[in-house]
Amino acid sequence: MALPELIYAPIDGGTIHRYEISGGKRKFLRFIGCYLGQCNFHTNIDDAINYIKNLKESQKIQKREIRIHK
């Protein structure tokens, strides 16, 4: 089994790796979207990009809430 291959690293953080998984007689191509240690498998690159964008947005919201509470 091959190692994940880095295919996308946005300038503002996060990574997307391509990963080929063997299952029985078939091979499946999956994309791993990661941001700040949170990673998830996706069936296509668009879903992985959206996953990273959503994590970035939730991080921004959390930072705003912390500033408000100080």
What is the C-alpha to C-alpha distance for residues 55 and 36, in angstroms, rounded to an integer?
A: 9
pTM over 0.85: no
Question: Tell me: the pLDDT tens digits for 34-48?
Answer: 998 899 999 999 999
How far is CA 29 from each of CA 21, 43, 52, 61, rounded to the nearest angstrom? 6, 7, 19, 33
Structure token digits, residue 29:
């191509």
Number of domains within the chain: 1
Question: Tell me: the pLDDT tens digits for 13-33?
Answer: 899 999 998 888 898 999 999
DSSP label at residue 44? S
Structure token digits, residue 21:
């998984």
Domain around 55:
5-69
